[in-house]
Amino acid sequence: TADRAPAALVVTCPDQLGPSVRRAVPERIDVVAYPNLGPPERVDWVDYGERNRRNDPDAAAAALLRRAGGRTIYAAVNNGYLTLGNQCAAFVAALGRSRRPELLLDAQGDRYYEAMTLYAFRPSATP
């Protein structure tokens, strides 16, 4: 039954989306933030741009897939943040090499200030 299914794993990319997503998602759901896949409640702004230049979207995706195991991954993404460039798109593409992305909600940047695109990566959906 649904109550026995493992809870989903939610990831935000970038981490700047983490606090608002964490507030909107029930506490029983695991939420992490790209790039370090840590808690999403706060963004560490110290040396933010410098740290973001060292991010590895492929390594982060591999770590997230290991963490997810048999759970569905939901990715809330907004591309083009100043110091991240296309890293979120690269992160989604890396996830998509292992699981087929399912577009659930397309960002409406003209309608919402911090619009997010939402993808589902189900464990049985291979590319």
Give pLDDT, residue 106: 86
Give pLDDT, residue 124: 80
pLDDT for 1 beyond 50: no
Q: How does the average pLDDT of the chain come out, rounded? A: 89
Rounded CA-CA distance 25/23 in Å is 6
Give pLDDT, residue 6: 67
Q: Count CB neighbours of 82 within 10 A.
A: 10
Site of tokens 């983490």: 18
Query: Residues 37-66: what's their mean pLDDT?
Result: 95
- Write out pLDDT tens, residues 104-117: 988 766 666 667 89
